A and B are shown apart, each in its own frame.
Chain A
């Protein structure tokens, strides 16, 4: 499954989110995650997770809200 699907599921499914937060390697086979991606998820570091999982964010939008 594409890795962005993991993010979409995590946004919709609280239990799934908790499972990954506890042990990212538990979903590594299902989502074909590399060791580097598992380590990024374990770190909880947003920049590392973004680099590992996501398409490039739109660099233009500035913060609000």
Chain B
């Protein structure tokens, strides 16, 4: 933790404040002003009891407005406060503060020119929780995409490697909206995925638990039936796409060398 920090950006983890790390708690202890972006009133209540008044940034959201505008406004409020404060200010979001959190990105990009030193502390992210929910090990290969970003860039998918598509329930819009999705919202993504996977490929809608007594929610369905899932998909869901089949070993020579002490001697000093 840096001594001269003006602004900490920390994450509560995914399950209430149960996964808040000691490091993040120390940052909160040091801070003069706390901004909080978290959907659970119980978390705000806990923060107020433990650390005093908090500024609830969720009040910045407005139906039908661009999420980016709201995030810029949030970042500006936090940066202004850190410029004026005598002690550090902290922005607390849920999950990991640098996993899909646009205000953190804006703050990092603007901090230098505003003369604010920022220390981002890691938290438990939705990705971390999905590893356990889905029993996947990223060391065996994993592709990660944000849903709208995937379609805009038309990133090529490798069907030998599992994929996680985040914010599937918000696909095709950057505007803030709480209405249910129509089936048509998922037609373009289905058609795009069908370029890489057969329609019968089983996908999973995963929503990691955010309450301590709840189970994570997993719904399996066939890619060809994507639109029929529309009423079940909300903003909490991530789409998990398992690999189509186990990939072949293409470099058998290296596979053998990796078990060889002679080869290890050759590549070490």
Q: Which residues from chain A sit less than 8 Å from chain B, CB to CB? A: 4, 7-8, 10-12, 17, 20-21, 24, 41, 44-46, 49-50, 54-65
Q: Which residues from chain B sit less than 8 Å from chain A, CB to CB? A: 11, 14-18, 37-42, 45-46, 56, 58-59, 61, 67, 93-97, 99-102, 123, 125-126, 167, 170, 176, 178, 207, 209-215, 217, 235-236
In contact, A50 and B211 (Cβ under 8 angstroms): yes
The tally of CB-CB contacts under 8 A between chains A and B is 105
Closest A residue to B39 by beta carbon equals: A61
With A64-B94, A65-B14, A65-B97 already in contact, the answer to whether A11 and B39 are too (CB < 8 A) is no
In contact, A12 and B211 (Cβ under 8 angstroms): no
In contact, A46 and B214 (Cβ under 8 angstroms): yes
21 contacts between A and B (CB under 8 A): A4-B45, A7-B42, A21-B213, A24-B213, A44-B213, A45-B215, A46-B209, A46-B214, A49-B214, A54-B40, A57-B39, A58-B39, A58-B58, A60-B61, A61-B94, A62-B61, A64-B93, A64-B95, A65-B94, A65-B95, A65-B123
Is the contact region of chain B dominated by helix, strand, or loop, or is it mixed?
Answer: loop
In contact, B100 and A65 (Cβ under 8 angstroms): yes
In contact, B58 and A17 (Cβ under 8 angstroms): no
With A63-B167, A65-B97 already in contact, the answer to whether A46 and B235 are too (CB < 8 A) is no
Q: State the 9 A-B residue pairs at the shortest beta-carbon distance, nearest first.
A: A65-B95, A44-B215, A60-B61, A46-B214, A61-B39, A10-B212, A11-B18, A64-B101, A61-B58
